[in-house]
Chain A
Amino acid sequence: MEKAEKITTFDTHVLSVSISPHVKSPVTVEKIMWTVVACLIPPLILATAIFGIRVLIITHISVISCVLTEAISEKALGRPVTIKDGSAVITGILLAYVIPPGVPYYLPILGAVMAIFVTKQLFGGLGSNIFNPALIGRAFLMATFPVAMTSAWITPKYLTFNVDTLSSATPLFIVKHYGIQALIQKYGSLSYIYKNFFVGIRPGCIGETSAFLLLLGGLYLIYKGYIKWYIPVSMIGTIALLTWIFGGEHLFQGNPLVAILSGGVMLGAFFMATDYATSPNYKTAQLIYGAGIGAITVLIRLKGGYPEGVCYAILLMNGFTPALDSWFKPERFAPPKGVKK
């Protein structure tokens, strides 16, 4: 034990007298954000291995642009600079993860300005934005650079299937325009599809290909208590269910597994739909929100103009969040009469 001071009066200026509670959980915003960053690293390693060093460069450009935009906007808006909290880094990574690996290097810079300056900082900064910044960045790029954003795919180097005229088209594109049989034909067999898609060896956006690694990261976040299972489970479940019912030639003939292993479902379900600021806060609302994302995703995939719908589905449901939050509140402990439980 340290040597005790034989004093009973002391300089009370050193004492803190803030109000209770005097102890607080060691979980801070920074800790949560940097944990999410860590969970997003494995898919990047895999993407670099299958698509080449280019994806690493794009991701870096995106992260640096986001952090710089955050710092400059906060300075300009007279707010404390909060780049150390890791949230801009997450936006940077997610923005890179939802664009194709073959896009020009300046694209993520434009996306970053849209994501951080317009979508996040102009709405009030961390916690105050209505829409997911990375997804607004992607939506903006889809509208402004439609060709690059829908065709700059790269065929994974380690893929052994026959590269034909469809070249590196994404699985969802093939399914949408040529049917699931074409996809099976291209990859050889259904079980081969499952295996490759689960591991992540397929064409697609930079960070969305590996269901396994994204699942691993997502489950870790759930285990840590940073996110809840409600949104990912209801979103993935709804996509599987609706694809099974409506995704085939006849009712109940769709392939739910291909549906959830392709496109941005896993990335969206665990890392984007669960974004704190843009998703509802409580159980019931989260379940409905997740189901809504799933339903809109399937609607866009089956009937819309794009092969993939996760991005727009999440953005549309973001708009629903304030309403869901006010409709579905926590259950009160024996509230007074007249108050809704």
Chain B
Amino acid sequence: MERVFKTFKKGGIHPPERKEFTDHLPIEQMPIPSEVDILLSQHFGAVCKPLVKKKSKVTEGDIIGDVEKGLGACVHASVTGTVKDISFSPHPLLVSIPSITIQTDSDAEIRQYEPEDWNSLSREEMLNRVKMAGIVGMGGAGFPTHVKLSPPPEAKVDTLVINGAECEPYLTVDHRLMVEHAKEIVEGIKIILTILGIKRGYVGIEANKPDAIEEMEKAVKEGSNGFDISVVPLKVKYPQGSEKQLIEAVTGRKVPAFGLPFDVGVVVQNIGTTRAIYEAVVFKKPVVEKVVTISGRGISRQANLRVRIGTRLKDIVEFLGGTIPGLKKIVVGGPMMGFAISTLDYPITKITSGVLFLTEDEVDLYDYKPCIRCGFCLDACPMGLQPNEIGIYVEAGRAEETGQFGVFECFECGCCAYVCPSKRPLVQFIRIAKMKAKR
């Protein structure tokens, strides 16, 4: 049977995928480190207030920080041990944020989680378990999941889209999760559909993950009884995993500018989030672990690792055998939208999907030149914006006038900067424009 691969219409690029470093490597459990740093702001939303004191004893799964008011999600002790310190940890975006350091008790028993039949649970109870587990969107943005699963009554949600695109180069977390935990993900989809009170769910997966498509289709066939779940194979094109582009590719609906998926009756969840929801509802297991892809030519061994939240990067580097000479850039996240960091003290958070150790031949180190008006960025931009003009305006000191080019609709996917033959730092220009222009 000839398969039809869907995709979004406007723009997009094909950067080298470099997924072959890790896409065949099974998820590997990293030993629990001697200390972890739990950031009190793991993601989008308010900073948590610590609920423990220095020298408190904590057990894996205890809530140690929670938001007092506003949007957010609680954080848990990811290991059993003693609170060593409540101080600050480095953060790629916010520079430095409050964190709780826990010293692991190496003699503590490993906590076991008992399964329950979720079919007997009420929707409210399932939603509460998601909230208590501190789940946030694991694709990168980190929006609190319990909020996303409680759409306002006026939003007529009829479709769930599961994001298995994983369009960022290098990253293979969702890929491995789908191959190794397809059944649990399908259960997770059913739980989400039940919470939302709808029947239809799609799983969008890019064609460069044929084994994931196969496993997921098998699991859907066996396990979707009573629900209308289907796997949607997608053409390989970045940024397919962007919410708006994915919704368009899978359902043909277009989320309006500044709108939410609710506005077109859709809820989107990432693969990792879906599995976390499954574990939270069935096992009452909070987010204490995260699977991350450690890749790039600058690390002596690449891997897909399951690590405790708060594991410091230097422990991971040590576990994998150190870095390799020629390392030029360390990136948290994917190479298109991730953040470069300068220290290995950085701890893994709930939204870390990977850490890349890139050598000189893997990264862009070009100097930039003036715009030659080739128009490549106009064709690459999935939002139909004019990155060329924004860049020129910012350079000319007229950033506040860039609203006319749609600068606030930009989600900084980096397609424009990727294709630019003058290697102009267009994303940087756009961030400057967003700070100065009026909405």
Contacts and interface: CB of A to CB of B under 8 A. Distances in A.
A125 B370 contact: yes
Interface stretch (A17-25, A52-60, A177-185): A17-25
B322 A22 contact: no
A112 B10 CA distance: 41
A92 B331 CA distance: 44
Interface stretch (A209-217, A237-245, A299-307, A332-340): A332-340
Interface in A15-72: 15-25, 27-29, 31-32
B418 A332 contact: no
Interface stretch (B30-38, B122-130, B131-139, B338-346): B338-346
B328 A16 contact: yes
A126 B314 CA distance: 46
B328 A29 contact: no
B255 A334 contact: yes
A151 interface: no
Contacts of A127: 370-373, 422
B427 A19 contact: yes
A100 B85 CA distance: 82
Contacts of B425: 18-19
Interface in B410-428: 412, 414, 417-423, 425, 427-428
A9 B326 CA distance: 14
A257 to B, nearest CB: 31
A277 interface: yes
A143 interface: no
Contacts of A128: 370
B370 A23 contact: no
Given A18-B425, A333-B244, A334-B254, A10 B323 contact: yes
Given A21-B335, A25-B418, A126-B372, A16 B431 contact: no
Contact of B414 (A10, A21, A335, A339): A21
A162 interface: no
B428 to A, nearest CB: 5
A282 B377 CA distance: 10
B374 interface: yes
A333 B421 contact: no
B386 A333 contact: no
B409 A4 contact: no
B300 interface: yes
Contacts of A331: 10, 384
A22 B335 contact: yes
A7 B322 contact: yes
B324 A20 contact: no
B344 to A, nearest CB: 6
A282 B342 contact: no
Nearest to B299: A4
| Interface SS of B by simple majority | loop
A2 interface: yes
A322 to B, nearest CB: 11
Interface in B161-217: 169
A1 interface: yes
Interface stretch (B102-110, B227-235, B283-291, B356-364): B356-364
B422 A330 contact: no
B254 A333 contact: yes
B336 A20 contact: yes
A277 B373 contact: yes
B419 A333 contact: no
A250 interface: no
A17 B329 contact: yes
Nearest to B331: A22
A276 B374 contact: yes
A29 B386 contact: no
Nearest to B359: A2
Contacts of B222: none
Contacts of A330: 10, 378, 381, 384-386
A6 B317 CA distance: 9
A205 B158 CA distance: 66
Interface in A199-242: 226
B71 interface: no
Given A4-B324, A125-B370, A330-B381, A335 B406 contact: yes
Given A27-B419, A277-B372, A21 B324 contact: no
A22 B314 contact: no
In order of increasing CB-CB distance, the 10 nearest A-B pairs are A21-B414, A4-B300, A281-B375, A24-B364, A332-B384, A127-B372, A334-B254, A17-B340, A336-B257, A330-B384
